[in-house]
Structure 1
Amino acid sequence: MGRTREIEVEITEENLSYLRQVSQSRTEQVRRVERANILLLHAKGLGSTTIARELKISVPAVTRCLQKAKEFGIHVALDDFKRSGKPPRLTPEAKTWILSVACQKPKDLGFSYELWTVRFLAEYIRKHAEEQGHPSASHISGGTISKLLKAQQVQPHKVTYYVERRDPDFDAKMVQVLHVYQQVEWKLENNDFVPLCDVMLSYDEKPGIQAIGTKSPDLPPVPGQHPTFSRDYEYVRHGTLSLMAGMDLLTGEVMGSVVDRHRSKEFIDFLKMLDNKYAPGLRIQIILDNHSAHTSKETRAYLETVPNRFEFVFTPKHGSWLNVIESFFSKMTRSFLRHLRVQSKEELKERIEQYLKEINENPVPFRWKYGLESAAR
């Protein structure tokens, strides 16, 4: 039997420089470095057998590389041809069916579960694949389902919340609120500006403030041993209180009333407090929500006794974020109420009133920015 004819590959100086760069690289794939070395040794005149011995690889591997380089060029010879791969087991119809099942709630299919887990979904798919005409999914794994859902950006095990717009007059009411904030902004920028109302307030209630006490005293930090305050896990509930608060939008002062309940009676008492605070004849404009106490028969009856004293601007339903006082409540929750412990409801009331007093020592007006450009048109 005759000797195998050597494959001749023409390699230019430019290609040699490229091959040397690949062979000396520390980041290239091993197979590309190996094939670059095959071509470099071939350029020196070595035969396939010698190259295989030098690189400790098989002669057919050297031959395939040289043959590819001769037919398709140096750059193509360094990489593998794209392969068709293993035929997919899941048919497109089966994938569509799996996604349609994932987008339904398990309870709608007769189960107690509200949402799917990957394991639960995989079990359901395997059990019903044959009867639904998708035998390719009868042995599907949870991992395959997870990859399919991820590729389609479907997460049937999670819930994200949204707010349904239930107020048909949402935009109109929002503009009314923004008009108040626009007048506040103009007044703060130019003291000579005369707003429609003399006093502008943002009002709301913060219900359910818990009076929680400890059964054992807190322990202070100890340098080098205990970096934080230490607190016993057991606690005592003493009840809850509500804070009724109104913020003067021009001065930043917060008027508050701590009460057990926030009914029409308490709201009317708060209005009377405002009536006593501000000089007679000033018109007080209040931004507030649609709580029943704000529109009750008792409240309307009181407003008739003080005509032209108060003007209510109601936020739209699910539009509490438009009320500045909510930002104050949020800050209060994150700073003052966080980890608060008291021994009674009376102490909680005193602490809240002290907090309001401290806030009012250096009041800062909240300057609303969102939507003011459109409101000014």
Structure 2
Amino acid sequence: MEKDAPRPGRIPKISQRKIKAVVEATLQTTPPHATHWSTRTMAKAQGLSEATIRRIWKQHNLKPHLVKTFKLSRDKHFVEKLYDIVGLYLNPPDKSLVLCVDEKSQIQALDRTQPGLPLKKGRYGTMTHDYKRNGTTTLFAALSMLDGKVIGDCMPRH
């Protein structure tokens, strides 16, 4: 009785051509009316299951949902200011109130000032931290380090 030669497993059902098409679509296109592909939208566009898209992305180290932002300070005294601020948190003066204040930018309609770099194998897509404001409200919030309370207010203009 003749036997088949041992093999590493079942023959893949998805061709290398189809896998390449998924990878290229992920890297070079975006879905209509969206900023990046999800497993659901890519699966529908390519006629594959979400699990298959997830496996292909994992094999090729693709993470289209992740974006790194960056901001380079042009302030010559940035490092000095950084040490001063961090020093307040690490060693606040007696009877002082330290607040951490920031704006909630996700509730604004933003346009980036420069285009980001596209997603590549093994690297996130990137985008600049600078943006153009389009006249929406800004939420300012502060965390009181004393009692853990959050103080907030909305301002129509920045």
Instruction: Please identify the structure whose Cα radius of gyration is greater.
Output: 1
User: Which fold has the larger relative contact order, with Cα–Cα distance below 8 Å and residues 6 or more apart in sequence?
Assistant: 2
Which has a greater percent of strand?
2
